[in-house]
């Protein structure tokens, strides 16, 4: 039996409370005990093979939190869209970019033309950066092949990478309903039917959920309802990119279906908020997407109505290259007016709720021992550093760095 003790923790945020001068006992990859160091059990079964001093540059000890959870990412792609980003910054509209061959279709073309070995290496490198920055669970979407075989291969790729050392835990989302691919131009209904026929195979390949991009430019609420219902019948959790105006009805439909999460919400109204509150449907908010869209979701209203809120980087090749959830926490505090503990909760407990897991996002007996020591002695640094550094990361009780 292997027991690990983390001691001399100056401040411990467990996901529920702050504890000063704390300690954690980890056993077989899970938290066995947590609390004030003064109450540490005297007799610890097994062998203490590693006593970790969490002290940094002061006598008070370091800040420790649960591993962060990124609840919205698009990490499986090849190439980049830097040229497109540059012309957008110069004032080009999205329609002009698409007309010039940019947009999702350009990444689809490059990803389809990239050999599996290169794609795997690229995705592996991205995922490792998440873990090194203190994110121990990542929701990872497919969505840049838009063919049956390519999307299923992406699911298998993510599942195989999760088994490698130094990788975060993954929640794999099948996102073939990201956009209508070029070969289905003018035939969106046929593509919706095709994606629906792939969902059972996606579940067998290891996908956890299915997502649909629901707005006036991509898939309709009727398309989304049918695809999400079909995915649920195959055992997949239902998620939705709800980016459209309230009159489109995407958010209320997602609430009516009690989706596992409804994401982004750049266009919403009071009725949407009330519908989400009534259904307790979790919301995933991405500050980087808010900056790009120049629109802010009603985060305070959501929290005031008791809607579970999670955070995500929205890492993707067009808008956000960040893998730093500590940056997202800082942005959420500055942009949405969240308190530090509200933002930390959204990046841990909220993410666990959105992904439908109960064994992470917290430090409590029985939870997985996904734990981060930060380069600070106080949680206030999250609102100051714009990318607080993770000093040590444990995944399942094993030290990653």
CATH code assigned at 264: 3.20.20.140
Domain harbouring 385, CATH code: 2.30.40.10
Statement to judge: residues 234 and 175 lie in one domain? yes
Average pLDDT, consecutive stretches of 10 residues, N- to C-terminus, the chain (401 residues): 83 96 92 93 65 56 95 98 92 85 92 98 98 98 98 98 97 97 94 98 98 88 96 98 77 94 92 94 96 92 97 96 98 97 98 98 98 96 97 94 77
Query: Can you give the pLDDT at residue 54?
Result: 62
Query: CA 97 → CA 105, 188, 293, 318, 383, distances in Å?
Result: 11, 21, 15, 11, 35
228 with 243, same domain?
A: yes
Strand positions, DSSP E, 296-369: 309-311
212 plus 326 within the same structural domain: yes
342 shares a domain with 197? yes
User: Mind giving me the DSSP string for 74-102?
Assistant: -----S--HHHHHHHHTT--HHHHHHTT-
CA distance 25 to 9: 12
What whole-number distance in Å separates Cα of residue 17 and Cα of residue 395? 21
State residue 58's pLDDT score. 45
- Same structural domain for residues 20 and 128? no
Task: Tell me: do 224 and 332 sit in the same domain.
Answer: yes
Please compute Rg for the chain using Cα positions.
21
Task: Give me the DSSP letters along 117-144.
Answer: HHHHHHHHHHHHHHHHTTEEEEEEE--S
- Looking at the structure, do residues 133 and 41 belong to the same domain, yes or no? no
Tell me the HSE value of 172 on the side-chain side, using a 13 A CA sphere.
24
In this structure, are 148 and 290 located in the same domain? Answer: yes
125 with 267, same domain: the answer is: yes
User: What's residue 248's pLDDT?
Assistant: 73
134 with 111, same domain?
yes
Tally of domains within the chain: 2
Show the domain range for 164.
68-355
367 with 281, same domain: the answer is no
One domain, residues 161 and 285? yes
Answer yes or no: are the C-beta atoms of 261 and 332 closer than 8 Å: no
pLDDT tens digits along 64-78: 999 999 999 999 999
């Amino acid at each position: 039996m292997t027991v690990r003790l983390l001691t001399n923790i100056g401040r411990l945020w467990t996901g529920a409370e702050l504890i000063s001068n704390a300690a954690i006992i980890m056993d077989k990859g899970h938290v066995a005990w947590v609390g004030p160091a003064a109450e540490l059990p005297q007799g610890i079964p097994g062998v203490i093979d590693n006593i970790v001093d969490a002290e940094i540059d002061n006598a008070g000890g370091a800040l420790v939190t649960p591993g962060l959870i990124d609840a919205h990412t698009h990490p499986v792609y090849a190439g980049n869209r830097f040229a497109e980003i540059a012309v957008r910054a110069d004032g080009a509209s999205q329609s002009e970019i698409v007309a010039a061959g940019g947009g999702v279709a350009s990444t689809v073309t490059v990803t389809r033309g990239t050999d599996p070995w290169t794609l795997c290496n690229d995705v592996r490198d991205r995922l490792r950066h998440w873990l090194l920055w203190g994110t121990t669970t990542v929701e990872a979407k497919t969505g840049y092949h838009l063919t049956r075989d390519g999307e299923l291969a992406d699911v298998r790729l993510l599942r195989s990478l999760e088994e490698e050392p130094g990788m975060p835990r993954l929640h794999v989302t099948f996102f073939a309903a990201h956009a209508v691919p070029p070969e289905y131009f003018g035939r969106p209904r046929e593509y919706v039917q095709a994606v629906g026929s792939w969902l059972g195979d996606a579940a067998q390949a290891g996908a956890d959920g299915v997502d649909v991009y629901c707005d006036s430019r991509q898939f309709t609420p009727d398309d989304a309802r049918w695809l999400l219902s079909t995915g649920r019948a195959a055992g997949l959790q239902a998620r939705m990119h709800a980016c459209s105006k309230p009159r489109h009805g995407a958010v209320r439909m997602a609430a009516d279906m009690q989706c596992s999460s409804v994401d982004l919400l750049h266009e919403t109204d009071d009725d949407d908020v009330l519908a989400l509150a009534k259904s307790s449907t979790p919301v995933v908010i991405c500050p980087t997407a808010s900056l790009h869209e120049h629109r802010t979701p009603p985060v305070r209203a959501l929290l005031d109505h008791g809607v579970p809120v999670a955070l995500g980087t929205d890492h993707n090749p067009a808008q956000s290259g960040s893998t730093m959830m500590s940056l997202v926490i800082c942005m959420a505090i500055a942009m949405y007016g969240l308190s530090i503990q509200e933002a930390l909760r959204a990046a841990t407990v909220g993410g666990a709720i959105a992904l439908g897991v109960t064994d992470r996002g917290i430090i409590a007996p029985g939870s997985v021992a996904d734990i981060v020591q930060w380069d600070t002695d106080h949680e206030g640094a999250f609102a100051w550093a714009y990318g607080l550094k993770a000093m040590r990361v444990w995944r399942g009780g094993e030290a990653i760095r």
